[in-house]
Chain A
Amino acid sequence: MAELLQFISSGLTVGAIYALVALGFTLIYKASDIINFAQGEFVMLGGMTTVFVALAGVPLPLAALIAIVVTTAIGLALHRLAVEPARGASPVALIMITIGASIFLRGIAQIVFDRRFHSLPPLLGADPIQFGGAAILPQSLVVLASATVIVTLLWLFIDRTLLGKAVIATAANRLAARLIGVDTRRIVDFSFAVSAAIGAIAGVLITPIALTSYDVGTLLALKGFAAAMLGGIGSAPGAVVGGLLIGMIEALAAGYLSSNYKDAVAFLIILVVLISIPQGLFGRAKIERV
């Protein structure tokens, strides 16, 4: 029983990160029908920028803030400079653009930062909390709590504010949204910026547990994408559930089966979801009238 609890707590920790990455995917997809594979790089930039700004002598909270602002600016630039000019292109071309952007960001990170692994001090101390025979790091609880807060805020925003309705309108039908006066370009700008910010926050929070380096973005993006697809792309609660599920299945597979197959779990899930339930757990199947 104790070991099951341990696996679950490990799974929830890493799952919360996948959830935050998946949220980023979902938000951009909701606003513009684009899958942004540079999402993982936002997480990397959040962590690495904080490390390097802190190394330069800036106090940690300010360094984290600077990192989030810088990453948000990069997300905005990604939209304005790379995605927006190619707006009329096919979805595949747009995805390729975001993959290219992720490779670019990774290359820049190697030069601007360095190629080593880095860590950050945890927020609430390093002593694990014991419960039921399992040990959970305080930082894991911070990650889980932050994910919950961010999801709640996002949901409130989308559901209760005018700007949120504008996002839904843009997602539903871009032309119609423009016709009723929504500035769709600003909306997509906004979604990229918020996704980048969420990614950066995830990066800052996970670095004390999982370390960071210039290339952590790739695998994170793939697993976050798997989580978003599992939960139903376009559904924020789905992204969170998908992320936590993938995290837990990975931890259980590593514990009970073999740790060699841990990474395969996420990829297997993508295959299964895309083949049998492409709309995911919470999404609605797209029905088109012919």
Chain B
Amino acid sequence: MRALQRFTVTAGIGLLALLGAGHQASAQIKIGAVLSVTGPASFLGDPEKKTLEIYVEEINAKGGVNGQKLQLVFYDDAGSADNARTFATRLVEEDKIVAMVGGSTTGATLAMIPVFEDAKIPFISLAGAIQIIEPVRAWVFKTPHTDKMACEKIFADLKTRKLTTIALISGTDAFGKSMRDQCVVVAPKAGINIAIEESYGPRDSDMTPQLTNIRNKAGVLAVVNPGFGQGPAIVTRNYRQLGITLPLYQSHGVASKQFIELAGPAAEGVRLPAAALLIADKLPNNDPQKPVVVNYSRTFLHNSGQAVSTFGGHAYDGLMILVEAMQRAKSADKAKVRDEIERTKGYIGTAGIVNMTPTDHMGLDLSAFHMLEIKGGDWTLVPGT
């Protein structure tokens, strides 16, 4: 018995030493990611997760950042802001990450912001609403275009087509609501009159009552649908079902092939503002974004087998901005990295060309958006936008 006891103790100490040694040897840079891979935002979170995994592996294969390998610590919030908040706390307290790239949805991001602000960890969000970076918070950045920019781009196109009286039908999720609020604020300046507003829950399966009200409102010349997920797909299907022929505009929240698949033939003629990524091969050759977006599209398709999505592109931009900031700071120190992220200038990404300042933690302007129209089940560029 005594020999056995001694053996067990020795083995235990040996194991601990091994574990300790192992831990020393691989001091990895831990990057956290909380994404909505399941649930109503799954076509945002799924390509985001795949992108982060593909590129972390690629970066590590080339030697990592500043000589250290990256380690991705990932959680799925299933589209719930509560879950996101819990995982954020876990990332800070248990996993001890040094930076965070994530927050697929506006709701999840807003819930997590206080956690990362308190812990002073740089947080690059992948969500759309303008509240994420306005008012500017020291530790929070974002890569996607804001909902305000989407409204401005859509209204500019409406003005060009002389469709100045519109209807708004928005989802009651955080992004839909935020974009609806921004559109209402921006409309008078853009010369657009919102004649009627309707809304739907993010999990509703039938929007014909709301669209019937819109159809019966006199003077409406076009309809704008802020929202993301399955809602806009059902709105688009119901739109055609009711025989409404007015131009329909979606937000960049539907910038994924899955929207076209779900909406089917109803998606023909729908317009939306989106990043150059969706029309990578159709960009003119002198467009500075072309090499980046074509390369990303091919890598993503090759590694995941799925068509490219702008949401995956936002994750790519977030990761690259973070990695380049770490390389410029020559360390993974949270404060230094934060400062370098804020100094990002001339970064050419999938969303556009990023120039951040202490008061602008997104760095994109309206030229980063193009107006696309869905034709023949594919994206086409509306000329001149």
Contacts and interface: CB of A to CB of B under 8 A. Distances in A.
Nearest to A6: B212
B265 A126 contact: yes
Contacts of A211: 205, 230, 233-234, 262
Interface residues of B, number: 33
Interface stretch (A76-84, A115-123, A282-290): A115-123
Interface in B258-312: 258, 261-262, 264-265
Contacts of B200: 259
A255 B213 contact: yes
Contacts of B198: 259
A14 B242 contact: no
Interface in A67-104: none
Contacts of B262: 117, 119, 211
B5 interface: no
A215 interface: yes
Contacts of A137: 241
B208 A110 contact: no
Interface residues of A, number: 36
B243 A130 contact: yes
A14 B209 CA distance: 12
B216 interface: yes
B28 interface: no
A9 B211 CA distance: 14
Interface stretch (B35-43, B117-125, B150-158, B357-365): B35-43
B42 A115 contact: yes
Interface in A19-75: none
A263 B241 CA distance: 23
B226 to A, nearest CB: 14
Contacts, number: 88
Most central of A110, A262, A263 by chain B CB within 10 Å: A262
Given A3-B213, A211-B234, A260 B201 contact: yes
A10 B206 contact: yes
A219 interface: yes
B344 interface: no
A14 B204 CA distance: 11
Contact of B210 (A9, A115, A254): A254
Given A135-B241, A259-B204, A116 B209 contact: no
A13 interface: yes
Nearest to A212: B205
Interface string B194-235: 000011110111111110110010000000000000100110
8 contacts: A7-B212, A13-B206, A116-B42, A119-B261, A126-B265, A259-B201, A259-B209, A260-B199
Interface of A: 2-3, 6-7, 9-10, 13-14, 110, 115-117, 119, 126, 128, 130, 134-135, 137, 209-211, 213-216, 219, 251-252, 254-255, 258-260, 262-263
